[in-house]
């Protein structure tokens, strides 16, 4: 598993794909936070807070993480190297977890430039340092866990697909449905009391708790369950291709 993890990391950083994705992610976030006129612009909000960043980032991750995960299995199958991996003395589960950890790691690294935004907001506060650090750190924990959930869903989409384009489109669609689609469907209140259950199936409400600075065991357990189910299903579908 560790060998697969190292190999995948090298494939991301060895051909500049990870660097380009990280740079694009940081640039887009910076433009929305400091330059474009929108509801996320920190100067227009007039508050020393990264709350708008934590609202924006899940939407960016919804497109970034599937771009990272689409190659994990779809490319291997497309190029024929998946059969070669099957012939090696390794478990399918190690293969799945190793690739998942590599996508999760690159996703977390995308957040590192945001520490510059945190420092900027910290300095701009009146007085300096007037920032809700509890909410900020809770939101970062939520983002790290959300990245893992998106990575699990992206790995599942790649294991179901024959090529990278299909893996990317399916990954974006599944992440969108899990984060926003289910939440919107529940907001129509078509199912009566069952809307609350439907609402808690999606990512949004569980991530929202982290952005309030609340690190609740039930929210962590929910994401761990989603990640586990995604990886188990990925393992099943790859096993069927063996």
Ordered DSSP codes for the chain? -HHHHHHHHHHHHHSSHHHHHHHHHHHHHHIIIIIS-STT-HHHHTSS--HHHHHHHHHHHHHHHHHHHTTTTHHHHHHTHHHHHHTSS--HHHHHHHHHHHHHHHHHHTTTTHHHHHHHHHHHSSSTT---HHHHHHHHHHHHHHHHHHHHHHHHHHHH-SSHHHHHHHHHHHHHIIIIIHHHHHHT--STTHHHHHHTTSSHHHHHHHHTT---HHHHHHHHHHHHHHHHHHHHHHHHH-
Length of the chain: 242
pLDDT band at 223 (very low <50, low <70, confident <90, very high): very high
* Interval 139-158: pLDDT, tens: 999 999 999 999 999 999 99
Q: What local confidence, expressed as pLDDT, does residue 129 receive?
A: 67
CA distance 44 to 220: 33
Q: What local confidence, expressed as pLDDT, does residue 166 receive?
A: 94
Q: What are phi and psi of 225, to 5 degrees?
A: -65, -45
State the residue range of the domain holding 90.
1-241
Angle (CA) 202 203 209, round 5°: 120
CA distance 39 to 149: 26
* Interval 104-133: pLDDT, tens: 999 999 999 999 888 888 887 777 767 778
Peptide bond into 127 cis (omega under 30): yes
Q: What local confidence, expressed as pLDDT, does residue 47 receive?
A: 72
Structural domain total, the chain:
1
The encoded tokens of residue 99 equal 């690739």
pLDDT for residue 189 is more than 70: yes
Q: What local confidence, expressed as pLDDT, does residue 174 receive?
A: 96
Tokens 């984060």 -> residue: 179
* Interval 36-63: pLDDT, tens: 887 778 777 777 678 888 999 999 999 9
pLDDT band at 212 (very low <50, low <70, confident <90, very high): confident
CA distance 84 to 48: 53
pLDDT for residue 27 is more than 70: yes
The encoded tokens of residue 230 equal 């995604």
The encoded tokens of residue 156 equal 């599942």
């Amino acid at each position: 598993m560790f060998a697969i993890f190292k190999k995948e990391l090298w494939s991301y950083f060895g051909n500049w794909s990870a660097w380009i994705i990280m740079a694009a992610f940081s640039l887009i976030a910076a433009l929305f936070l400091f330059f474009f006129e929108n509801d996320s612009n920190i100067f227009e909000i007039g508050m020393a807070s990264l709350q708008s960043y934590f609202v924006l980032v899940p939407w960016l991750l919804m497109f970034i993480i599937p771009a990272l995960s689409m190659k994990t299995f779809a490319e291997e199958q497309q190029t024929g190297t998946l059969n070669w991996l099957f012939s090696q003395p390794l478990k399918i589960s190690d293969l799945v977890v190793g690739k998942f950890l590599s996508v999760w790691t690159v996703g977390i690294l995308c957040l590192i430039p945001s520490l510059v935004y945190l420092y900027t907001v910290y300095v701009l506060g009146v007085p300096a340092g007037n920032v809700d650090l509890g909410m900020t750190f809770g939101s970062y924990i939520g983002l790290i866990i959300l990245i893992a959930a998106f990575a699990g869903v992206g790995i599942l989409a790649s294991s179901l697909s024959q090529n990278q384009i299909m893996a990317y489109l399916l990954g974006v669609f599944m992440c969108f449905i899990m984060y926003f689609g289910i939440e919107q469907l529940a907001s129509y209140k078509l199912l009566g009391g069952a809307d609350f259950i439907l609402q808690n199936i999606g990512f949004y409400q569980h991530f929202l708790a982290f952005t309030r600075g609340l690190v609740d065991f039930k929210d962590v357990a929910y994401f761990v369950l989603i990640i586990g189910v995604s990886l188990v299903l990925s393992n099943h579908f790859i096993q069927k291709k063996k």
